Amino acid sequence: MVPLILFIAIILFCFYYFTRSKKLVLPADSVSINASELEKNVLFYSRLSPEEKKHFEEDVLDFLQRIKITPVNTTITDTDRLLIAAGAVIPIFYFPDWKYYNLKEVLVYNDTFNHSFESAGNNSRDIMGMVGSGYMEGKMLLSKPSLEQGFGNKTDKNNTVIHEFVHLLDKSDGDTDGIPELLLDKQFILPWVDMIHQETKKIVEGRSDIDPYAYTNQAEFFAVVSEYFFERPDLLKSKHPKLYGILHEMFRTPN
Ligand SMILES: [Zn+2]
C-alpha cells in the first residue's frame, strides 16, 4: 500500500511541477504583443477587422516564439522585434498554416552592411537586408535603420522587412526567381511573367513610379512591387491596376 501511495504522490508532484514550470518558462525572445504599437506603425494591421487583428497578433506571437532575433553590435527593442514579426506575417497572412520553415534566425545589424556582413569600416556596405544562403542558410540579415524607416515612413513604397520575407516566400519552391510557384496558380504564371516584362520596360523608359531596383531581376521585381502593394495599396491600385490585380490574387487579399 505504501509504495502505491508513494507512486501516486510522485505522479501528482511531477504533474504539478511540469505544468507549473511550463507556465513560468517563456522563450528567450518572448514579448507581449503591443497592439497599439501595431496600430501606430503597421498600416496592414490597422486596416484589418477586429477578428483579423486577433489572428494577426497570434501569428506575430507564433513567429516570435519560433524564430530567434539576434542584435549584432546593436540593441533592439520589443517594438523592433514586433515590427520584424509583423513584416514576416504580412505577406503570408492569408495563407492559413503557412510557416517560414526555411528560417531559423534574424540578425539585426546596427547599420547597412556589405557582402562580408560587415556593418562598420569604409568598404562599400549598402545592403539593407538579405536572405542568407550557403553557410548563412536559414538566416535573414536586416539593418536596424531600414527596419525603422520601413515602418516609420508612411508615404514611401519601401519596406525592407517585407521585401526580405517576400524573397523567403519566393525561395520556398526551391528558387528565388520572382515566380512564387506555391502562391501562383499555374494559370497565372504566364500573365505574371508577361507583367514583369511590361512593367520593367516602363521602368527602363522612365515611365514608372516603381523603384528602379525592381529592374535588377525578376526576384527583385517581385519583392519591390510586393513592398509597394503592402505599403501603398491604394496608390498601386490606381497607378497599376493590372499589377495590383495579380498581386491581390497571389497574396489572396480580400479586397
Ligand atoms: Zn531583394
CB 196 within 8 A of CB 221: yes
Q: CA-CA distance, 194 to 201, in Å (whole number)?
A: 11
Ligand 1: centre distance to CA 182 (Å): 19
pLDDT at 205 over 70: yes
For the chain, what is the mean pLDDT?
86
Overall fold of domain 28-251: Collagenase (Catalytic Domain) (3.40.390)
The residue type of 170 is D
pLDDT at 52 over 50: yes
Give 71: exposed, middle or buried? Use CB within 10 Å, 0-12, 13-18, 19+: middle
Task: Return the C-alpha cell found at 40.
Answer: 501606430
CA of 165 to the centre of ligand 1 (A): 9
Q: Say how many Å lie between the CA of residue 126 and the centre of ligand 1.
A: 12
Ligand 1 centroid, distance to 168 Cα (angstroms): 10
Higher pLDDT, 251 or 6: 251
Q: If you measure from the C-alpha of residue 224 to the centroid of ligand 1, how many angstroms do you get, rounded to a whole number?
A: 7
How far, in Å, from the CA of 142 to the mean position of ligand 1?
11
Ligand 1 centroid from CA 8, angstroms: 59
Categorize the per-residue pLDDT at 135 as very low, low, confident or very high, splitting at 50, 70 and 90: confident
> Lowest-pLDDT range, 17-21, 35-39, 121-125, 130-134?
17-21
Q: Give me the pLDDT at residue 28, please.
A: 47
From 53-57, 100-104, 134-138, the region with the lowest mean pLDDT: 134-138
What's the CA-to-centroid distance between 120 and ligand 1, angstroms?
Answer: 21
Asked if residue 102 lies in contact with residue 165, where contact means CB atoms within 8 angstroms, the answer is no
Backbone angles phi and psi of 143, in degrees to 5: -100, 140
Confidence at 20, pLDDT banded by 50, 70, 90:
very low
Cα–ligand 1 centroid distance for 15 (angstroms): 49
Q: What is the dihedral of CA 16, 20, 21, 26, to 10 degrees?
A: 160
Q: How far is the CA of 86 from the centre of ligand 1 (A)?
A: 18
Rounded mean pLDDT, 56-67: 95
CA of 69 to the centre of ligand 1 (A): 20
Distance (Å) from CA 130 to ligand 1 centroid: 7
Indicate the range of 10-19, 64-73, 96-105, 126-135 predicted with least confidence: 10-19
Cα of 127 from ligand 1 centre, angstroms? 9
pLDDT level of residue 113 (50, 70, 90 thresholds): confident
Give residue 131 CA to ligand 1 midpoint distance, Å. 8
The pLDDT-based confidence of 127 (bands split at 50, 70, 90) is: confident
The predicted structure's pLDDT at residue 39? 95
| Residue 1 CA, ligand 1 centroid: distance in Å | 69
What's the gap in Å between 164 CA and the centre of ligand 1? 6
Quick check: 146 pLDDT over 50?
Answer: yes
SS3 242: helix
Amino acid at 116: S
The rounded Å distance from CA 147 to ligand 1 centre is 14
Q: Which of 65-79, 141-155, 206-220 has the lowest mean pLDDT?
A: 141-155
